[in-house]
Chains A and B, each alone.
Chain A
Amino acid sequence: QQQVKQSPQSLIVQKGGISIINCAYENTAFDYFPWYQQFPGKGPALLIAIRPDVSEKKEGRFTISFNKSAKQFSLHIMDSQPGDSATYFCAASNSVAGSYQLTFGKGTKLSVIP
C-alpha cells in the first residue's frame, strides 16, 4: 500500500522562527510532491509542490527540500507568523491508469505563538 509518513504530529514555533515538517515515502514511482495547508473549517489548499528532478523549491517564505535517494522531503517555513498556524499535509502522487490521486501524510498541526 502506498504510504507517506509525516512528522511531527504537532509543532509549536515562536513568531519569527523556522518551522520544519518532514515526510518520507516508499513508492519510487511517485513523481509529484505537494504540500497542502488547511485552516480550521476549510478544505486543504495547495501551498507549494515539487517534482523529483529538483532538490529544492522556494516560494516566498516556504521552501521544499527534496532528497530523492533518501525518499524524503520537507517543508521549511521561514520567519513563521501567527497567520501560518494551520495543519499542513504533505502528499505524493503518480499516474496510475490515468489517475493522479494524492496519497496524504497524516498532517502536522502548526501553532505559531507571538
Chain B
Amino acid sequence: DSGVTQTPKHLITATGQRVTLRCSPRSGDLSVYWYQQSLDQGLQFLIQYYNGEERAKGNILERFSAQQFPDLHSELNLSSLELGDSALYFCASSVDSVGGRELFFGEGSRLTVL
C-alpha cells in the first residue's frame, strides 16, 4: 500500500459529461502529481501541485483542470468528455525535494467514456 488513495476506482460516463477524480496524498507529502495512462501513450504527466499551488503543467487539455485543497487532497476535473479521454488516471505524491524524488502512486481511477 503506497499510502495514496484515489477515488473512484472505476467510472463509466457518456461523452460530453464532466467527472471529478479525487486523490489523498501520503501523510506528509506536499506534492501531488496527476498522470494519464493509456495503452499507446504510456504515462503522460498532466499537472503538479505543491502545497496548494500549481507548480508544473504537462500535457493537460484545456478541458481538464485540477486543484489542491488546504488539507492537501487534490481533485482532477475532466469536462466535455470525449471517447479518447478513456484511460487510467493516476495520482502520485512525493516529498518533492532533491533527496526525496520518489513518487508514490495510487491505484488509479479507470475512466471509461461511452
Do residues B50 and A105 form an inter-chain contact, with CB atoms below 8 A?
no
Query: On chain A, which size bracket covers the interface?
Result: 20 to 34
Query: On chain B, which size bracket covers the interface?
Result: 20 to 34
- Which segment, of A36-44, A53-61, A72-80, faces chain B? A36-44
Do residues B96 and A100 form an inter-chain contact, with CB atoms below 8 A?
yes
Knowing A43-B107, A99-B50, A99-B56 are in contact, say whether A107-B42 is a contact too (CB < 8 A).
yes
- Give, as a whole number of angstroms, the nearest-CB distance from B58 to chain A: 7
By a CB distance below 8 angstroms, the chain B residues around A62 are none
B24 interface hit (Cβ, 8 Å) = no
* Minimum CB distance partner of A99 in chain B: B56
- Chain B contact residues, CB within 8 Å of chain A: 2, 4, 31, 33, 35, 41-45, 48, 50, 55-56, 58, 90, 92, 94, 96-98, 101-108
Q: Could you pull out 6 A-B pairs where Cβ atoms are within 8 angstroms?
A: A34-B101, A44-B43, A46-B103, A93-B101, A102-B45, A104-B44
- Chain A contact residues, CB within 8 Å of chain B: 32, 34, 36, 41-46, 49, 89, 93, 95-107
